[in-house]
């Protein structure tokens, strides 16, 4: 049966559970319908989160990665990238700087870099947690349950591990040597260990369908993800996907909006990838359901080398300047940074 946008929209508005077909229908919204969808998502964001936009400071501490994902500039086969790895003390110092700026959450992100063993990371986490009022989020990829446990014991609060795509075949093809099942197992393990978990996907991967994006959203729900990062695909010149098209702005915003409707309580960042795709990316996302921004506060000398995709938004700006710019965006929209 062909569903009409109106009937599914009404269902969403009344807070009824949406099926995969319903979600595909919403994701297919035309320009006119899309406007209503964005407004409803914005209303839902306001009802559940008010006007607060949470700021979380990211430090990208190593661009080494043992994986070879076809879409990512950090992939191990990219020999054109200048690799770096922050020293433990250097990282602790950078985190202290982020706290000094007033951030209450520090996100530690890297490629899958095994030099940073759980023991080494534990040292960093304990140092950051010492003051007792900073949350630590890790985004370091797949590890063993034992490592995740040690990191939790050292004080880590949250863990970001995007499932990237719900299409198992596409996942395997684009992330050689890994599979979706293992990734979802990692997320379940993290949850079991008491982490708040974050997932997310990439919009516009070659071969992706609206059906698989709908499945992504149902996976977010099933995982009961606390945080969900939704960003467009941006081709990187030194990867096998260099000639593929970038993800669409509209589809990324529609996915964000529908995710807000399906998971009213989740924290949804306006992603750097979206801000890279479009100059008003942050504003647009904040108007379609987003309630978080994660400024990249990596020390200037490393920042330009963390090239997941080219021309990453904010990589030319020093931490204070970037934070100021983001605060201006938030304030100009009548929202409040926290
Ligand atoms: N375009 C957009 N997002 C990307 N990521 C990796 N490569 C790209 C790209 N080319 C995202 C993935 C990953 C995070 C580190 O960056 O979702 O989880
Ligand atoms: Fe490594 Fe993550 Fe990039 Fe894959 S997406 S190559 S795991 S940094």
| Ligand 2 atom closest to residue 175's alpha carbon, by position in its atom list | 4
**120-173 residue pLDDT tens:** 999 999 999 999 999 999 999 999 999 999 999 999 999 999 999 999 999 999
Q: Is 111 in the pocket of ligand 2 (CB under 6 A)?
A: yes
**220-248 residue pLDDT tens:** 999 999 999 999 999 999 999 999 999 99
| Ligand 1 atom closest to residue 234's alpha carbon, by position in its atom list | 1
Domain ranges of the chain: 5-337
**243-275 residue pLDDT tens:** 999 999 999 999 999 999 999 999 999 999 999
Cα–Cα dist 43/50, whole Å:
9
What average pLDDT score do residues 97-115 get? 97
Cα–Cα dist 269/216, whole Å:
16
- Write out the E strands in 265-315: 292-293
What average pLDDT score do residues 322-329 get? 97
| Ligand 2 atom closest to residue 73's alpha carbon, by position in its atom list | 3
- Name residue, tokens 């942050």: 282
Rounded to 10 degrees, the C-alpha dihedral 229/235/237/241 comes to 110
What average pLDDT score do residues 97-111 get? 97
Cα–Cα dist 56/95, whole Å:
12
Helix (H) or strand (E) holding 191: helix 180-192
CATH 3.20.20.70 fits 5-337, yes or no: yes
Percent of the chain surpassing pLDDT 70: 99
CA of 66 to the centre of ligand 2 (A): 8
Helix (H) or strand (E) holding 199: strand 196-203
DSSP, collapsed to helix, strand or coil, labels residue 108 as strand
Rounded to 10 degrees, the C-alpha dihedral 242/64/76/151 comes to -110
Cα–Cα dist 49/40, whole Å:
14
| Ligand 1 atom closest to residue 139's alpha carbon, by position in its atom list | 15
Q: Which of 1, 28, 7 is nearest to 257 (CA)?
A: 28
CA-closest residue to ligand 1 atom 3: 233
Residues ≥6 apart with Cβ < 8 Å to 331: 337
**16-57 residue pLDDT tens:** 999 999 999 999 999 999 999 999 999 999 999 999 999 999
CB of 102 closer than 8 Å to CB of 128: no
Give the ligand with the smallest distance to the CA of 69: 2
Q: For residue 278, name the pLDDT band (cuts at 50, 70, 90).
A: very high
What average pLDDT score do residues 199-214 get? 98
In this prediction, residue 3 carries a pLDDT of 79
Helix (H) or strand (E) holding 263: none
Going by the DSSP 8-state scheme, the letter that residue 245 receives in this structure is P
In this prediction, residue 2 carries a pLDDT of 58
Cα–Cα dist 272/42, whole Å:
20
* pTM as predicted: 0.97
CA of 232 to the centre of ligand 1 (A): 8
Question: Mean pLDDT, the chain, as a whole number?
Answer: 97
- The answer, yes or no, to whether residue 1 has pLDDT greater than 80, is no
Which of 213, 231, 247, 275 is the pocket-test mutation for ligand 1 (most atoms within 8 Å of CB)?
Answer: 231
């Amino acid at each position: 049966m062909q569903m009409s946008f109106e009937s599914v929209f009404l269902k969403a508005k009344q807070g009824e559970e949406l099926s995969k077909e319903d979600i595909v229908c919403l994701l297919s919204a035309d320009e006119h319908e899309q406007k209503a969808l964005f407004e409803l998502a914005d209303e839902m964001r306001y009802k559940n989160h008010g006007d607060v936009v949470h700021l979380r400071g990211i430090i990208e501490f190593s661009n080494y990665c043992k994986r070879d994902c076809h879409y990512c500039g950090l992939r191990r086969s990219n020999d054109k990238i200048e690799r770096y790895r922050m020293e433990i003390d250097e990282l602790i110092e950078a985190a202290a700087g982020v706290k000094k700026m007033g951030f209450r959450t520090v996100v530690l992100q890297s490629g899958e870099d095994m030099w940073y063993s759980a023991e080494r990371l534990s040292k960093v986490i304990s140092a950051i947690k010492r003051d007792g009022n900073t949350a630590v989020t890790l985004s370091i990829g797949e590890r063993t349950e034992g490592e995740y446990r040690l990191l939790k014991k050292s004080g880590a609060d949250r863990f970001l591990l995007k499932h990237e795509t719900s299409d198992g075949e596409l996942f395997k093809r684009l992330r050689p040597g890994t599979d979706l099942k293992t990734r979802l197992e990692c997320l379940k393990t993290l949850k079991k260990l008491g982490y708040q978990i974050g997932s997310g996907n990439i919009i516009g991967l070659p071969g992706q369908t609206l059906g698989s994006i709908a499945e992504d959203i149902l996976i977010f729900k099933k995982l009961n993800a606390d945080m969900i990062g939704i960003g467009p695909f941006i081709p990187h010149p030194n990867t096998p996907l260099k000639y593929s098209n970038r993800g669409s702005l509209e589809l990324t915003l529609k996915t964000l909006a529908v995710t807000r409707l399906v998971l009213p309580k989740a924290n949804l960042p306006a992603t750097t990838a979206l801000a890279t795709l479009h100059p008003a990316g942050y504003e647009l996302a904040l108007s379609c359901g987003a309630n978080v921004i994660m400024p990249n506060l990596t020390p200037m000398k490393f920042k330009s080398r963390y090239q997941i995709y080219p021309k990453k938004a904010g990589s030319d700006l020093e931490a204070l300047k970037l934070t100021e710019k983001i605060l201006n965006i938030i304030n100009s929209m009548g929202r409040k940074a926290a």
